[in-house]
Amino acid sequence: MKKILIINASKRKNGNSYALEQYFAEKLAGKAEITAFRIGEKAVNPCLACDACKKQHTPNCIQRDDFTALIPQIDSCDALLILAPVHWDQFPAQLKAFLDRTYSFMDFTQSDFSMAGRKDKKIAGYFFAGFGPVDIYTQMVDTNLKNFAIAGFRTEKAHVAGNANVPGSIMEKPDDLKAADEMAAWLLD
Ligand SMILES: Cc1cc2nc3c(=O)[nH]c(=O)nc-3n(C[C@H](O)[C@H](O)[C@H](O)COP(=O)(O)O)c2cc1C
CA 80 to ligand 1 centroid distance, Å: 22
- Secondary structure of residue 42 in the 3-state scheme: coil
Per-residue pLDDT tens digits of the chain, which is 189 residues long: 999 999 999 999 999 999 999 999 999 999 999 999 999 999 999 999 999 999 988 999 999 999 999 999 999 999 999 999 999 999 999 999 999 999 999 999 999 999 999 999 999 999 999 998 999 999 999 999 999 999 999 999 999 999 999 999 999 999 999 999 999 999 999
Atom of ligand 1 nearest to the CA of 161: 21
Element at 96 (helix H, strand E): helix 93-101
Question: Whose Cα sits closest to atom 29 in ligand 1?
Answer: 87
Residues 6+ positions from 61 with CB-CB distance below 8 Å:
52, 53, 67, 68, 71, 101, 104
Query: Which pLDDT belongs to residue 71?
Result: 98
Residues 6+ positions from 170 with CB-CB distance below 8 Å:
16, 19, 20, 128, 161, 164, 176, 177
Q: What φ, ψ does residue 107 adopt, rounded to 5°?
A: -135, 110
Query: Which pLDDT belongs to residue 103?
Result: 98
Query: Which pLDDT belongs to residue 110?
Result: 94
CA 10 to ligand 1 centroid distance, Å: 9
Domains with residue ranges and CATH for the chain? 2-188 (3.40.50.360)
Query: Which pLDDT belongs to residue 163?
Result: 96
Q: Is 25 within 8 Å of 185 (Cβ atoms)?
A: no
Distance (Å, rounded) from C-alpha 4 to C-alpha 18?
16
